[in-house]
């Protein structure tokens, strides 16, 4: 009887594990910069809220339990962002995640001067999405993009980031 119970338990456990997605089964989310909004400023520190659009390319919902990221601008470290908010990114869908971000005031001024001189801002966002799903705890992501500050030849009066998804 003990042998039958042990066998049933191991078969049940194997079937349950087979039904759970693992990190290898999860396609990393595509992350795009949507907005940067200043919140507060001091002599040494700038605080922003950065909105990231998270696109889920998987055929199942991804319940996020938080996110963290680092942002480089024009090849130099710029800011770190964190969020502990729960968000569910629907299968084959998107959700916007707002992250509190901190940047050094001197780094910010240096980046502004460089952007004016170069006429474009290249950015790189890399981070980790904390997933609330059995078998998957964290999913890394990385995204590069560019914000062209030159006038739009089509005459549109807006700046829009372009992005390139990188395999992680």
User: What whole-number distance in Å separates Cα of residue 81 and Cα of residue 51?
Assistant: 10
* Closest to 104 (Cα-Cα) out of 66, 77, 122, 143: 77
3-state secondary structure of 18: helix
* Residue 67, phi-psi category: left (phi > 0), alpha (psi -120 to 50), beta (remainder): beta
Percent with pLDDT over 90 in the chain: 38
pLDDT tens per residue, range 32-80? 888 889 999 999 999 999 999 999 999 999 999 999 999 998 888 889 9
**Residue 147 pLDDT:** 78
Distance, CA of 168 to chain centre: 12
pTM attached to this predicted model: 0.69
Q: How does DSSP classify residue 23?
A: G
The residue extents of the domains of the chain are: 27-151+161-165
3-state secondary structure of 57: coil
Correct CATH for 27-151+161-165 of 3.40.640.10, 2.60.40.1820, 2.60.120.1130, 3.30.420.40: 2.60.40.1820
């Amino acid at each position: 009887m003990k042998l039958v119970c042990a066998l049933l338990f191991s078969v049940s456990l194997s079937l349950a594990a087979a039904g759970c997605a693992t990190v290898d089964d999860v396609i990393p989310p595509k992350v795009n910069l949507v907005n940067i909004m200043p919140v507060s400023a001091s002599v040494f520190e700038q605080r922003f809220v950065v909105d990231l659009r998270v696109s889920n390319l998987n055929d199942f919902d991804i319940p996020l339990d938080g996110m963290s990221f680092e942002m480089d601008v024009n090849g130099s470290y710029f800011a770190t962002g964190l969020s502990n908010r729960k968000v569910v990114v629907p299968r084959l869908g998107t959700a916007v995640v707002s992250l509190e971000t901190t940047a050094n005031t001197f780094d910010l001024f240096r980046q502004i001067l460089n952007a004016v001189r170069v006429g474009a801002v290249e950015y790189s966002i890399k981070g980790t999405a904390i997933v609330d799903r059995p078998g998957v705890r964290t999913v890394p992501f990385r995204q590069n993009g560019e914000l062209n500050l030159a006038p739009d030849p089509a005459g549109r009066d807006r700046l829009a980031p372009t992005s390139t998804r990188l395999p992680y």
